[in-house]
């Protein structure tokens, strides 16, 4: 897939989760087996949406970048971000923090990690790797 399509898809996914965790955290988290017991827990969910929204913005705003070294570094950054998501959410599943739909998160982040890796592999130094 092209960088533009990949970054648009990546940004859209992160935008959806950022909005959901900010607007309806009380609806989203229980599906993952996580209870929001007080206003501080709700705030932490809203706070998390800052970072999800930031990753979405980076993905969406850099869709048109046509500088191969920058494309490669961007794909590395997204690979690391998604890899961290896979590890942390797998930990949440193994330790029992995430239950129910929570097991979809490690699978989701693993998929995004794999897609980021494949996109990174398409970025060859010195080539216009936009295809």
Residue 105 resides in a domain: yes
In residues, how long is the chain?
131
Question: Model confidence over 88-114: pLDDT tens digits?
Answer: 999 999 999 988 888 899 999 999 999
Sequence-distant (≥ 6) Cβ neighbours of residue 2 within 8 angstroms: 130, 131
Residue 130 resides in a domain: no
What pLDDT was estimated at residue 102? Answer: 87
Residue 22 resides in a domain: yes
Residue 131 resides in a domain: no
**Which positions of the chain have pLDDT values less than 50?**
128-131
Residue 31 resides in a domain: yes
* The total number of structural domains that make up the chain: 1
Residue 11 resides in a domain: yes
What is the extent of the structural domain holding 39? 3-122
Token pair listed for 34? 């996580």
Residue 129 resides in a domain: no
Residue 127 resides in a domain: no
């Amino acid at each position: 897939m092209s960088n533009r399509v990949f970054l648009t898809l990546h940004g859209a996914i992160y935008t959806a989760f950022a909005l959901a965790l900010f607007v309806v955290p009380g609806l989203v988290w229980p599906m993952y087996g996580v209870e929001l017991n007080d206003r501080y827990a709700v705030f932490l969910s809203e706070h998390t949406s800052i970072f999800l929204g930031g990753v979405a913005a980076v993905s969406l705003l850099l869709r048109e970048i046509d500088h191969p070294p920058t494309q490669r570094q961007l794909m590395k950054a997204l690979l690391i971000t998604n890899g961290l998501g896979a590890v942390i959410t797998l930990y949440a599943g193994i330790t029992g923090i995430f239950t129910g739909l929570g097991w979809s998160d490690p699978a989701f982040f693993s998929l995004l990690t794999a897609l980021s890796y494949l996109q990174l592999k398409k970025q060859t130094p010195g080539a216009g790797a936009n295809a």
